[in-house]
Amino acid sequence: MTTPMTMSAISDETFRSLTAAAPEIRPFWEAARRGKLLLAHCTACDRPHWFPRVVCPLCSSRDIEWREASGRGTVYSVSVARRATPPYALAYVTLDEGPTMLTNIVDCDVDGIVIGQKVKVVFMERADALPAPMFTPL
């Protein structure tokens, strides 16, 4: 089993500091602190993209809004780092909404993860980092 490094939540001060480089993405991280996965969704072409940005990479529109994702997805590919202690699973997960994101598969036996496996989002809470969305088998 992979366990989170720490369960202590990030402070407001650290949160502001770590989101200062890209203030326009702050709503994503604020939602992540509440356990919600947001997608940047273009209302012009009606498609979400990943990673979030202010110009749609699919149609160039600036009509982007945040929408909450289902948090469900499918493993596109996975590779377990065997030299790390403990080994960890680097993965691409294709969200049910369409985009594929780089992530980790956690809270499971890393030897059992397969391409095509259904997964759901979990957020790793850390005091010294933003709450990154990761996934665990359904």
Partner 1 sequence: MHLPSAYVTGAFEHPTRHAPDKSIAQLHAECALGAVADAGLSLGDIDGYFCAGDTPGASPLYMADYLNLKLRWLDGTESGGCSYLMHVAHAAAAIAAGQCNVALITLSGRPRSEGQATGTAPRAGNSSQADEPFETPYRPTIAGMYGMFARRHMHEFGTTAEQLAWVKVSASRHAQHNANALLRNVVTVEDVLASPVVCDGIRRLDCCVITDGGGAAILTRPEIARSLKRPLVRVAGTGHTMHTQGGGYVDAVRTGAAASGAAAFAEAGVTPQDIKYASVYDNFTIMVVMQLEDLGFCPKGQGGRFVAEGNLISGVGRLPWNTDGGGLCNNHPANRGGMTKLIEAVRQLRGEAHPAVQVKNCDIALAAGPGRVVGSGHGHATAVLVRE
Number of residues engaging partner 1 in binding (CB under 8 A)? 38
Measured CA to CA, the distance from residue 91 to residue 50 in angstroms comes to: 15
Measured CA to CA, the distance from residue 133 to residue 11 in angstroms comes to: 18
Q: Tell me the residue type at 55.
A: V
How far, in Å, are 25, 48, 83, 128, 129 from residue 72 at the CA level? 21, 15, 29, 26, 23
Is 84 a binder of partner 1 (CB under 8 A)?
Answer: yes
User: For 87, what's the count of Cα atoms within 13 Å in the CB-facing half-sphere?
Assistant: 13
The answer to whether the CB of 25 falls within 8 A of the CB of 52 is: yes
Is 134 a binder of partner 1 (CB under 8 A)?
Answer: yes
Is 100 a binder of partner 1 (CB under 8 A)?
Answer: yes
User: Among 6-14, 62-70, 100-108, which window interacts with partner 1 (CB under 8 A)?
Assistant: 100-108
- Closest approach of partner 1 to the CB of residue 100, in Å: 4
Residues 33-52: x/- map of binding to partner 1 (CB under 8 A)? ---------------xxxx-
Is 91 a binder of partner 1 (CB under 8 A)?
Answer: yes
Is 83 a binder of partner 1 (CB under 8 A)?
Answer: yes
The answer to whether the CB of 95 falls within 8 A of the CB of 39 is: yes
Is 62 a binder of partner 1 (CB under 8 A)?
Answer: no
- Closest approach of partner 1 to the CB of residue 103, in Å: 6
What are residue 38's DSSP bridge partners? 68
List of residues contacting partner 1 (CB under 8 A) = 18, 21-22, 25, 48-51, 53, 56-58, 76-84, 88, 90-92, 98-104, 115, 124, 129-130, 132, 134
